[in-house]
Amino acid sequence: MDSVFRALLVYLFLLVLLRLSGKRSLAQITTFDFVLLLIISETADTALLGRNNSSTHAFLLITTLVITDIGLSLLKQRFPLLERLVDDVPLIVVQDGKPLKDRMSKARVDEDDVLSAARELQGLERLDQIKYAVVERSGGISIIPKEK
Amino acid sequence: MGQIKDVRELEDPAKLEFQRRQWRAQRVAWGILVVLVLAALLGLFGPGVLSGVETATGDGALRAEYHRFVRYEDPTRLELQVRPTGGEELRIWLSREYVQGSGIQQVVPQPESVEAGPDRYTYVFRLENPSGPVSISYELMPVRMGRLGGQVGLEGREAVQVGQFVYP
């Protein structure tokens, strides 16, 4: 009983916290984001395991986490609203080479981020070569180049 | 599986059939996992409703509460309710096999002394009120996996059986 509740609690807590922190928060943009992710996982480990050393407890935790995730993904398929709530929605931040400043600042993305993604993904040089830049649900930026 | 030289090879009926069987197997596995989680919620793998046991001696002088299903090195408790029968001293014994397997961490309240015998350990408590009921709690951390059994009793009286299963 305790194992299942612990797993559910941590799952729910992380889900809510990471959703509220915004999509760019842990998109592993910098080395520090990555380190922060490691620290969070270490801390969550304590919350999950507690003083408990038994393998049964560990197996139950893993099973509960996996089954909760599967269950949620099945529910998300059925209820689009839930999917938006849990997974966020993609957002266009550059349209026809023009940055949408308001959205960019809200999404905590700047021109440098967009250009960096444009260079890495498409080998583009300037903003005006971009047709669309989209902040995806994962927090990454995808680039659609203008046709030549 | 060999190398795929043409993406159309993926439409091979045998491969698709394999995929379909795999999906079916996964659905069945999810069902089993859900059952396992529900069983855990009910207490088949540790504390929970189905795990709680309350047992007492025929004369009601000693009542024991514990969990039937416990886990290796996972803290648990054996709670005793005692109705003393006169005398300032309360002597509770636990069978040796149980003491050795259950990994007693702490006894609350602390006994005045513990006497080790060949097949039992006797915990001696001093009572403030010789006629009032007393609760004594053994904090355990099982150190042996598998069946863990033994007896608990008031000296010179009937004993209760304690039977637990320790998951790895």
Angle between helices A55-78 and A2-20 (to 10 degrees): 50
Q: Rounded to whole angstroms, what are the CA distances from A83 to A44, A61, A89, A111, A136? A: 24, 24, 9, 29, 14
Q: What is the pLDDT of residue A28?
A: 63
Examine the pLDDT at B1 and tell me if it is beyond 60.
no
Question: What type of residue sits at position B140?
Answer: L
CB B62 within 8 A of CB A96: no
Query: Using a CB-CB distance cutoff of 8 angstroms, which residues of chain B are in contact with residue A60?
Result: 36-37, 40, 45-46
CB B76 within 8 A of CB B141: yes
Say yes or no for a CB contact (<8 Å) between B43 and A64: no
Q: What is the mean pLDDT of chain A?
A: 90
Give residues with Cβ within 8 angstroms of A121, minimum separation 6. A142, A143
For chain A, report the end-to-end CA distance as a whole number of angstroms. Answer: 61
Question: Helix or strand or coil: residue A23?
Answer: coil
pLDDT per residue over B81-98, tens digit each? 998 777 788 899 999 999
Distance in angstroms (rounded) separating the CA atoms of residues A73 and B72:
34
Distance in angstroms (rounded) separating the CA atoms of residues A44 and A61:
12
Q: How confident is the model at residue A62 (pLDDT cuts 50, 70, 90)?
A: very high
Task: List the structure tokens of A22.
Answer: 């915004």
Q: What is the pLDDT of residue A31?
A: 85
Q: Which of A121, A123, A124, A98 has its CA nearest to residue A111? A: A98
Question: What type of residue sits at position A5?
Answer: F
Q: Which residues pair with B66 in a beta bridge?
A: B53
pLDDT per residue over B5-57, tens digit each? 888 888 888 889 999 999 999 999 999 999 999 999 999 998 888 999 999 99
Q: What is the pLDDT of residue A51?
A: 76
To the nearest 10°, report the CA torsion of B21, B27, B29, B32. Answer: -140
Task: List the structure tokens of B102.
Answer: 């259950």
Q: What is the pLDDT of residue B15?
A: 87
Does the pTM surpass 0.90? The reply is: no
Task: List the structure tokens of A77.
Answer: 């398929």
pLDDT per residue over B96-154, tens digit each? 999 999 999 999 999 999 999 999 999 999 988 877 889 999 999 999 999 999 999 99
Q: Which residues pair with A130 in a beta bridge?
A: A145
Q: What percent of chain A has pLDDT over 70?
A: 97
* Closest chain A residue to B29, measured at CA: A67
Task: List the structure tokens of B164.
Answer: 């637990």
pLDDT per residue over B67-76, tens digit each? 999 999 999 9
Q: What is the pLDDT of residue A1?
A: 82
Q: What is the pLDDT of residue A73?
A: 94
* Closest chain B residue to A55, measured at CA: B168
Query: Using a CB-CB distance cutoff of 8 angstroms, which residues of chain A are in contact with residue B43?
Result: 1
Say yes or no for a CB contact (<8 Å) between A56 and B71: yes
Q: What is the pLDDT of residue A133?
A: 94
Query: Using a CB-CB distance cutoff of 8 angstroms, which residues of chain B are in contact with residue A52?
Result: 71, 73-75
CB A142 within 8 A of CB A117: yes
Minimum-distance CB partner of A54 among B30, B49, B72 = B72
CB B38 within 8 A of CB B134: no
Q: Does A70 touch chain B (CB under 8 A)?
A: yes
Q: What is the pLDDT of residue B156?
A: 83
Examine the pLDDT at A118 and tell me if it is beyond 90.
yes
User: Residues of B near A (CB-CB distance < 8 A)?
Assistant: 30, 33-34, 36-37, 40-43, 45-49, 71-75, 167-168
